[in-house]
Chains A and B, each alone.
Chain A
């Protein structure tokens, strides 16, 4: 299943510049050092709004997941709610599952990047090898 096209806006410029060079950026609080999801405006620990962008390790575990089905009943795309090693959560496509294979809570995954024609480079995750 091909990825949909996503366009950048002002808030996501640096994030998509980074995915284009193969980096997944997250937020790191300038006050307490806690990591936060890329779209976070405030630190989940201390509520500070001072944060810098840092590259994530790109490793994560599955918190939960779903597989969308077509009207005809075929399993189409797997999506997961992931917990990055640094702590932030991220929804991401899950690629590289074998036919009929399903993710599981705690499953280790690693990031890869795909760029659909006409859109930004997107993070996708694969089962860790």
Chain B
């Protein structure tokens, strides 16, 4: 690597997390602006130091190009709204990393915000029907019972169970482990411990998925500032280096032979991102994995190669993911228990762990932090490899 490569190596230099959860009376755009201000402040940058802005909306939409004027940002050199659902956060960091490395921008804010929760409306109502219409092919799919993400993930999980013998109790261990981590995260919305029995007794939403297999829903916003190692050296916080990245979008055919439910884009993107970072899967100290459902974590673990294909259930049930286990996973509680900010949930916890600022839940080794994003129903995947060190 040349000196210039090292100097312009991309880092995350700022993290901003707003209040999250049942926080009412604020729009998604307001949360986004708040998150960017917090991230810039965290980095020790003025808003006027930002020359790039990438935005990402959730279901409530409205986090777009107008955020520039809302924040009063002038003369930006990079501005775009991005959308690959739960893989967007990783995608924004990748785009920003390439921009700063190329010299196209110096300091890029990447922000996600959403405000789907309304007072006196259930969490489920906030998401049911999102994105699916009553017309044409989308209407036909909705009429088949696929009117939200949950039944589609249920069908995927069932296929994995039928193929590999994965059980609901094994999925429960993922929820239980993440809740144990959440108990040590002051930001987590759900912190009371749960057991496998609690999971099994929680109501079925769409078989085989129980309530405790599903993520929560939050209002709020999260932003990170991506800049160069050179610039970050003079900033307030310890830089988190972005050493490797990749995306994968499988494009599952709706046809005989499709491996939907059995293999995700993590199988392609994980090894590519690790190779870019110059590390192997055994070097990963902590993994922050997209967890819209417990099953998403299980499939991602297999596809990254933390265990053999089909053995994700046994791996989870071994206790490996929980505090004290061999592979700390979703150490802030994840979207199942802490806050649901799509790909920003695993990314924000990864930054906190890489900095060594996770307090009671800090993992002892955090030299290599693997982060996943997942969008659609395993349709879109992003991987990031982060480290407090400039080289693996």
If the complex has contacts A87-B256, A88-B255, A105-B162, are A66 and B137 also in contact, measured as CB distance less than 8 A?
no
Find out whether the CB atom of B151 lies under 8 angstroms from the CB atom of A66. yes
Q: Is B261 at the interface (CB under 8 A from chain A)?
A: yes
In the complex the two chains form, what is the Cα distance from A7 to B136 in whole Å?
6
In the complex the two chains form, what is the Cα distance from A37 to B144 in whole Å?
15
Report chain A residues within 8 Å CB of B205. 68-69
In the complex the two chains form, what is the Cα distance from A122 to B145 in whole Å?
12
In the complex the two chains form, what is the Cα distance from A87 to B255 in whole Å?
6
Q: Report A21-45 CB contacts with B as 1/0, cut-off 8 Å.
A: 0000000000000001111100010
If the complex has contacts A39-B137, A64-B158, are A93 and B145 also in contact, measured as CB distance less than 8 A?
yes
Report chain A residues within 8 Å CB of B207. 66-69, 75, 102
Within 8 A of B (CB), among A1-25: 3-9, 11-12
Q: Is B48 at the interface (CB under 8 A from chain A)?
A: no
Name the one of A40, A64, A75, A87 contacting B155, with C-beta atoms under 8 angstroms: A64
- Please indicate which of the listed interface residues B145, B162, B261 has the most CB atoms of chain A within 10 Å of its own CB: B145
Find out whether the CB atom of B146 lies under 8 angstroms from the CB atom of A6. no
The chain A residue sitting closest to B148, CB to CB, is A68
Report chain B residues within 8 Å CB of A66. 145, 151, 154-155, 158, 206-209
In the complex the two chains form, what is the Cα distance from A6 to B207 in whole Å?
25
Find out whether the CB atom of B254 lies under 8 angstroms from the CB atom of A77. no
Find out whether the CB atom of B256 lies under 8 angstroms from the CB atom of A91. no
Q: Is A65 at the interface (CB under 8 A from chain B)?
A: yes
Within 8 A of B (CB), among A62-93: 63-69, 71, 73, 75, 77-81, 83, 87-93
The chain B residue sitting closest to A40, CB to CB, is B254
Within 8 A of A (CB), among B236-286: 253-256, 258, 260-261
Q: Report A80-119 CB contacts with B as 1/0, cut-off 8 Å.
A: 1101000111111100000000101100000000000000
In the complex the two chains form, what is the Cα distance from A74 to B254 in whole Å?
30
In the complex the two chains form, what is the Cα distance from A88 to B254 in whole Å?
6
Name the one of B137, B146, B256 contacting A11, with C-beta atoms under 8 angstroms: B137
If the complex has contacts A37-B254, A69-B205, A105-B162, are A122 and B136 also in contact, measured as CB distance less than 8 A?
no
> In the complex, how many residue pairs between chain A and chain B have their CB atoms under 8 Å apart?
115
Find out whether the CB atom of B255 lies under 8 angstroms from the CB atom of A6. no
Find out whether the CB atom of B156 lies under 8 angstroms from the CB atom of A91. no
Find out whether the CB atom of A122 lies under 8 angstroms from the CB atom of B255. no
Q: Is B135 at the interface (CB under 8 A from chain A)?
A: yes
In the complex the two chains form, what is the Cα distance from A40 to B255 in whole Å?
10
Nearest-CB distance from A129 to chain B (Å)?
Answer: 22
Find out whether the CB atom of A5 lies under 8 angstroms from the CB atom of B254. no
Name the one of A40, A79, A83 contacting B256, with C-beta atoms under 8 angstroms: A83
Report chain B residues within 8 Å CB of A69. 203-207
In the complex the two chains form, what is the Cα distance from A40 to B251 in whole Å?
12
If the complex has contacts A3-B143, A37-B255, A79-B151, are A68 and B206 also in contact, measured as CB distance less than 8 A?
yes
The chain B residue sitting closest to A37, CB to CB, is B254
Report chain B residues within 8 Å CB of A64. 155-156, 158-159, 162, 261
Report chain A residues within 8 Å CB of B253. 44, 89
In the complex the two chains form, what is the Cα distance from A68 to B142 in whole Å?
13
Find out whether the CB atom of B254 lies under 8 angstroms from the CB atom of A79. no
Q: Report B121-160 CB contacts with A as 1/0, cut-off 8 Å.
A: 0000000000000111101111111110001001110110
Nearest-CB distance from A116 to chain B (Å)?
Answer: 8
In the complex the two chains form, what is the Cα distance from A93 to B146 in whole Å?
9
The chain A residue sitting closest to B137, CB to CB, is A39
Nearest-CB distance from B211 to chain A (Å)?
Answer: 10
In the complex the two chains form, what is the Cα distance from A88 to B255 in whole Å?
4
In the complex the two chains form, what is the Cα distance from A44 to B206 in whole Å?
30
Nearest-CB distance from B369 to chain A (Å)?
Answer: 33
If the complex has contacts A12-B137, A69-B207, A83-B256, are A91 and B159 also in contact, measured as CB distance less than 8 A?
no
Q: A7-B134, A87-B256 are in contact. List 19 more A-B contacts (CB 8 A).
A: A4-B142, A6-B139, A6-B140, A6-B143, A8-B135, A8-B136, A12-B136, A37-B255, A63-B159, A64-B155, A64-B162, A65-B155, A66-B155, A66-B209, A69-B204, A73-B203, A89-B254, A91-B141, A105-B159
Residues in A lying within 8 Å of B, measured CB to CB: 3-9, 11-12, 36-40, 44, 63-69, 71, 73, 75, 77-81, 83, 87-93, 102, 104-105, 122
Residues in B lying within 8 Å of A, measured CB to CB: 134-137, 139-147, 151, 154-156, 158-159, 162, 203-209, 253-256, 258, 260-261
User: What are 25 A-B residue pairs whose CB atoms fall within 8 Å in the complex?
Assistant: A3-B143, A4-B139, A6-B142, A7-B136, A9-B135, A11-B136, A37-B254, A38-B137, A39-B140, A40-B254, A44-B253, A63-B159, A64-B155, A66-B155, A66-B158, A66-B206, A66-B207, A67-B207, A69-B203, A69-B207, A78-B145, A79-B155, A93-B143, A105-B159, A105-B162
